[in-house]
Amino acid sequence: MQEEAHQGVDLLSLMARSWQLGEVVQSTCFDFNNRAVAFHTKSGTVFLAPISDPDPVSKRTRIQADTSRITISPRSEKIKPLTQVAVQDGGIVSIKPAPGGGFVATVASGPLLHIETDGSLRELGAENFDAPRAIATSNQAKQIAVLLEREIAILMPEGKKAAGLPLDRELQALAFSPDGTRLATCADDGVTLWRIGHTPTRERQLRNAARYQHLSWSPTGRFITTALADRGLCTWRLADGLLIPMTEYPAPSHHFNWGPNDAFLVTSGAYRIICWPLSDDDLKDANPTPLETGMTGVVLVTAAAAQNKRDLVAAGFANGIVVVCQAGKSDELVVRGPGGGSVTSLGWTDNGMGLAIGTDDGFAALVTFPDFMFK
């Protein structure tokens, strides 16, 4: 049984700051300056925590010189509560890191909001948006893209509209390329790439009839991955348009992202962590062989996230377990044991030493690993 295999020391009490929010945590995200993490809940409330831990595990760790035994002392300071950010009229619909720092948030109807890392709010620009469907942000390009019913509005960081891309079809998601020069959108007939500049232009289309709902660029910009509305994913190699289906998932793959330098794609939606290797030399037109990562069990992986510094992945399960392991290896570090709500969101800090966790029973945590942990 997977739950029995995952029994072990719960590291949360030693390494993490944790909170009970009382409602489903839909997503977690970090601001571009790596100063704060935002937990976005189902009711439309955002809770903020500073990434810096005032009582860090590094100061509570002792390594015995003769035996190299490691001990971690309990916290000496009380964990501070989260900063709550709430708005009226339906709450915050979505949140992304803002160019320059803080966060950009959409509401059901009205202007975009800028949330500072201390929780203070201000409106971005004077324009009101009716039911924005998605937003994307680029710290490199210093721009914000807002998906509306009939256009994509390209905004400057202060909210001033720089351009509008008219739409002739319904779109599901959008994302800036890593360098901020292109914008990808997905619809039922594939992915469209837009060149972003003084006059944004449609660059190319990657056709494939399927229902897509999530979108992600690889770190180098060589690949784009989309999640299918039912189960599985599709990845395009942009150099030649090669389509790589990744199918046979028992559940939808709502969470997926990339290891450093496009080394692999980690995904949720199966009974073990799925890491697809994407070396250009080995790619074919369907289902590359996954790296055998972590342990197989009877509980679904409901969230997954790759660290951007090395080949480490975090995975959360439907029974509340959170583990960290190396891509292609079976050994797992149990960060959180079983018994809690299903893990809904995971995210690594930019330096790779912090991990945010959210669950469907309102549990939120920020784990700060000591420097020696991943050497």
In this structure, are residues 311 and 320 in contact, taking their beta carbons and an 8 Å threshold? no
* Triad 315, 320, 25: Cα angle to 5°: 85
Q: How do residues 172-225 score in pLDDT, each as one tens digit? A: 899 999 999 999 998 887 899 999 877 788 888 887 756 677 899 999 999 999
Structure tokens at 254: 């709502």
Q: Which is higher by pLDDT, 188 or 163?
A: 163
Write out the CATH class of domain 2-374: mainly beta
For residues 121-126, average pLDDT: 89
For residues 255-281, average pLDDT: 89
Dist CA 128 CA 109 (whole Å): 7
How far is CA 353 from its chain centroid? 15
Residue 306 banded pLDDT, cuts 50, 70, 90: very high
What pTM does this model have? 0.92
